[in-house]
Amino acid sequence: MKKLMHNTIVSIRKIKTVIVALAFSMLSLTIYAQQEALQEEGTVVKLSLEKSRQMAIENNIENNIAKEKIKIADNKVAAYKTNYLPKISATGLYLFNDVTFDQTIEGGQLPTFLPDGMGGAIPDGGFAFMPEIPLEFAFSNTYNAAVKIEQPIYTGGKINAANKMAEKGREMAQANVALSEIEVMVLSDEAYWNVVKVKALIESAVQYKETLEELHRMVQNAVNVGMSHRKDLLSVQVKLNEAELNLARAKNGYKLAVMNLNHIVGLPLHNNTEVADDFEEETSISLLPESIDVSDGIAITSRPEYHLLTKQVELKEREVDLARSDFLPKVGIMGAYGYTSGLKLNGSRLVNGGSLTALLFVSVPIFNWGEGRNKVNEAKLERTVAQMKLEDTQQKMMLEAAKAINELNEAQLEVQLTSKSVEQAEENKKLSKDRYEAGMETLADYMESQTMWQNAMSAHIGAKASLQLYKTKYLKATGQL
């Protein structure tokens, strides 16, 4: 009975194991299939502006390198902080040498002395015999083992300066990551709005082609009934061919724009990516100052470039302290406990035991031919150069912010003007069509009105895309991105 129960339990366990294995296999296959599906060219990924920024930042190599440099800086800070703590180390020494040093102290008659009562001695005329003393030193199988602890007390500020430099390096690495992310966002926005622009250009080209196709049918009917000359039909056909070519170019441009966006956000190049935004609604920017004079109050101190240069100046300040510390007094202590055995004298071990050692170390530089003064002056000059670069870059960033405001104002004005041009071109196209159908306008004038409308639409679409990109550049220049 027990054997039967045991076999039953074993069988149940085997069945459970098989079921678990099958479940994991199915799960793995499902995950693999999902991953494969995401890599297929037909996979549709719809991106918003924020999503494309996020994906671009996550997949940008330079940004990932900058993040790794923060980890490097963190380790460097942690390493330099250990210089405040005592260092403990162990040492060992073993010596084998088969050379034996022999030396004999000669014996002989030695004079004897008596005290003179004044603390001295006078010879008493007698002699004492001293025999020869043989000495034999052997160094083989001599060893020493010791544990020591070292603690700096004062290093002229060297440890403190090195720690502050490491901390500034970490802050610079963090500012570099922020700068890298902003640059990636600008690159991503440019690619994103380029896709939106080309998509809108395709829609405009399709509408223009459909208008020409309708005109072609009208002229064809007129030719068929003898109301129009065949050369008019050929003229429309030429325009229609141009429209088809422009539409093909716009579609190819869209494919390239999507490929470029895929590359930036980290998707396969031929992935079927769509953008969530369009130019259906009129774009309006409300963050602009009313005039360029207001830009004088824009604070560019929040920009990572400014932080980076500020930390560079502070780093150079710490380098001055570090250079000065090399020529200041240094104080430290060391304690050690060791065990030594070996060094035989006449066959007997001369040293065989442990010992405790304490050491106070003081070093005071006295004269170095002006080396210290020159190195400190060199570090101060480098600090001055860094400060000059900061001031120069600050002015350039103010100019960049002023330029960004001008460009954004101009871009918004261009959107407004091109919008009016589109309205006027549409009205002109409608009037021209009515006049053409009434026989009051030539076919060439009618087609010219359509071309003007197409050009106005293209300019308006380009202005909208430029406005969005200039908005991103404005936010970057003013430290708001």
Task: Identify which has the larger pLDDT, 34 or 179.
Answer: 179
pLDDT over 90 (residue 428): yes
Assign 299 a pLDDT band (cuts: 50, 70, 90): confident
| Residue 163's pLDDT band (cuts 50, 70, 90) | very high
Please say if the pLDDT value at position 281 is more than 80. Answer: no
Rounded to two decimals, the pTM is 0.75
Please write the tens of the pLDDT for every residue from 247-270.
999 999 999 999 999 999 999 999
- Report how far residue 77's alpha carbon sits from residue 432's, in angstroms, rounded to the nearest whole number: 75
The percent of residues in the chain predicted with pLDDT above 90, rounded, is 56
Helix (H, G, I), strand (E, B) or coil at 117: coil
Residue 6's pLDDT is what? 43
pLDDT for the residue 113: 77
> Which single residue is written with the structure tokens 């603390």?
119
Q: Which of 44-48, 173-177, 345-349 has the lowest mean pLDDT?
A: 345-349
Evaluate if residue 11 carries a pLDDT over 60.
no
**Residue 440 reports pLDDT greater than 90:** no
pLDDT confidence of residue 297: 53
Paired strand residues for 363: 330
Residues 334 and 150 sit within 8 Å (Cβ to Cβ): yes
Residues contacting 203, CB < 8 A, separation 6+: none
Q: Count Cα atoms within 13 angstroms, Cβ side, for 397.
A: 23
Give percent above pLDDT 70 in the chain: 87
